[in-house]
Amino acid sequence: MRFIEECLLGTMVRLSIDESEYKQRIEKVRRTLSKRQLDALYITNSVSIFYMTGYSHIATERPAALVIPLENETTFMGPHLEIDHIPLKTRLIENIRTYFDYPGKKHPIEHFAGFLRDMNLQDKSLGTDNMSGAAGIWGYAGPPLTKKLPEAKFVLARDIIENMRLIKSKEEIRLIRESSKWANLAHTLLQEYTQPRLWDFEVSGAASYEASTIMKKTLGSGYEVQRWGRSPASAGFRGQVGKMSAIPHSISAKRPLREGDVLVTGAGAEVGGYSCELERTMFLGEPTPKQQRYFKAMTRAQDEAFKALTPNAKCSSVDLAASKLLRKSGFANLMRHHTGHGLGLEGHERPWLDVGNDSILQPGMVVSCEPGIYESGFGGFRHSDTVLITEHGPQMITYYPRDLESLIIPI
């Protein structure tokens, strides 16, 4: 009850990005287009379309695109089944042009070429995130848009929106913080419900359902899931159970939970399209000395990475800090991935905390911090926390306990 009361105190803030911020994003794109001497930006990525307008759709084989011209109306081009959906989600798409369906007697790319001619862009310079003109998923096939508009000059410009997404606004950070609150609840329930002889999906389903129900009831009608395929709050093991915890991207477990299992968990919650990342290594029963040694090495590596997450530091230096500790501890051959990645609208986005990435950490970036070690046939050990880079150093957004004692589930 106290948790719900505390959550209610936080519901006075918005649960989505304000329209004014979307307008600022569109204007920033237009300023960039002007500097690059481009006449429009043509976007096929559904996440980028959502980032620019607040309109989220289910991307399928049916091509869809957003056109942001240097001047004139922001235009959506896509399947007719979206025509009533768009006005419900955004006022920033001023012009909606649709075709009936894919593949149709007239291919959607033929329609798109005609729509762009109607916008007088047939012989202009167009920046795009996709030279084919369509996302190309779910069995899609079609001619490239460049061949249907031979007089237009297409320039690959996916970096325009990717660069904008690198630095989170106050609004975005607020939504990620709200997400961490509900991820914390989901993980609390996951740990509470974990016990031998249950299947991982049973525990995950119960915890995710209860956390989502509490979240939805607490936040009320102002809350809705923005992105297809997501739930309000979720927590689970993703198959990282027992020996399979040594597979960083396992999918499912073949057996129920057992005493002695190492369990690598994950939790998150969608708020306004954004989510944090929270992962922990738990033990079903008292851990063995070897399990404790691996756990402590992993948490020390994460501590070293935290300290390296400072503004103006290179992303590579964070990865080097964690890997140096693990190598000195004798775990060099048990590393399977880099130290972290950016977070926000997607589970993985720029920047990459990788030895090969010398880009600079800047205030406003939000990243995961998750060095891990994995021994085949024994177990995997990984915590992941969401961290905000500030002018004064790293600031933890997720806050679930990290210490060994708190993550032992008594039998």
Each residue's pLDDT tens digit, 294-349: 999 999 999 999 999 999 999 999 999 999 999 999 999 999 999 999 999 999 99
Please state the rounded mean pLDDT for residues 87-99.
Answer: 97
Average pLDDT over residues 365-394: 98
- Model confidence at 229, pLDDT cuts 50, 70, 90, reads confident
Q: Percent of the chain scored above 70 by pLDDT?
A: 97
H helices of 13-134, in order, are 19-35, 46-53, 86-89, 108-118
Tell how strand 40-43 and strand 125-128 pair up: parallel
pLDDT at 3: 47
Average pLDDT of 149-153? 97
Q: Work out the percent of the chain whose per-residue pLDDT is above 90.
A: 95
State how far the Cα of 306 lies from the Cα of 387, in Å rounded to an integer. 8
Is the link from the previous residue into 103 a cis peptide, with omega within 30 of 0? Answer: yes
Amino acid at 63: P
204 and 261 Cβ atoms separated by less than 8 Å? no
Q: Taking 90 as the threshold, does the pLDDT of residue 185 lie above it?
A: yes
Amino acid occupying residue 283: F
Residue 315's pLDDT is what? 98
Give the mean model confidence (pLDDT) for residues 227-236: 93
User: To which CATH superfamily is domain 19-164 assigned?
Assistant: Creatinase/prolidase N-terminal domain (3.40.350.10)
The span from the CA of 348 to the CA of 341, in Å, is 6
Q: If we measure between CA atoms, which residue out of 259, 253, 264, 255 comes closest to residue 284?
A: 259
Provide CATH 3.90.230.10 ranges for the chain.
167-409
* Average pLDDT of the residues of the chain: 96
Residues constituting the chain: 411
Residue pair 55/26 in contact by the 8 Å Cβ criterion: no
Based on the number of CB atoms within 10 Å of its own CB, is 370 exposed (0-12), middle (13-18) or buried (19 or more)? buried
- Read off the pLDDT of residues 257-287 as tens digits, 9 standing for 90 and up: 999 999 999 999 999 999 999 999 999 999 9
Distance of CA 103 to the CA centre of its chain: 31
Give CA–CA dist 191/244, Å, rounded: 18
pLDDT at 114 over 50: yes
Structure tokens, 371: 């060095």
User: Omega into 363 within 30° of 0, i.e. cis?
Assistant: no
C-alpha–C-alpha distance, residues 195 and 191, integer Å:
9
For the stretch 381-398, pLDDT in tens is 999 999 999 999 999 999
- 67-82 mean pLDDT: 97
CA distances from 241 to 219, 231, 278, 370 (A): 33, 23, 17, 18
Q: Which of 280, 363, 355 is nearest to 318 (CA)?
A: 355
Distance, CA of 330 to CA of 23 (rounded, Å): 52
Tell me the C-alpha distance between 221 and 160, whole Å. 34
What is the C-alpha separation between 405 and 402, in angstroms, rounded?
9
pLDDT for position 2: 47
Residue 22 pLDDT grade (very low, low, confident, very high; cuts 50, 70, 90)? very high
Whether pLDDT at 11 is above 60: no
pLDDT value, residue 54: 97
Is residue 364 scored above 90 in pLDDT? yes
CA distance 247 to 138: 28
Question: First vs last Cα of the chain: how many Å apart?
Answer: 27
According to the CATH classification, is domain 167-409 in 3.40.50.2300?
no
Within 13 Å and on the Cβ side, how many CA atoms surround 98? 12
Q: At what angle do helices 315-328 and 289-308 cross, to 10 degrees?
A: 150
pLDDT level of residue 5 (50, 70, 90 thresholds): very low
Give span(s): CATH 3.40.350.10, the chain: 19-164
Task: Name the β-bridge partners of 409.
Answer: 284
pTM: 0.95
Residue 13: its pLDDT value, please?
65
* Residue 102 CB partners (closer than 8 Å, separation 6+): 61, 62, 63, 79, 108, 140
Laid out side by side, the sheet with 262-264 consists of 262-264, 281-284, 408-409
32, two tokens = 């960039």
Position 14 confidence tier, pLDDT thresholds 50, 70, 90: confident
The DSSP secondary-structure symbol of 250 reads: -
Distances (CA, A) of 342 to 30, 147, 211, 323, 331: 25, 36, 25, 19, 25
In this structure, are residues 266 and 279 in contact, taking their beta carbons and an 8 Å threshold?
A: yes
- Per-residue pLDDT, averaged over 88-111, amounts to 97
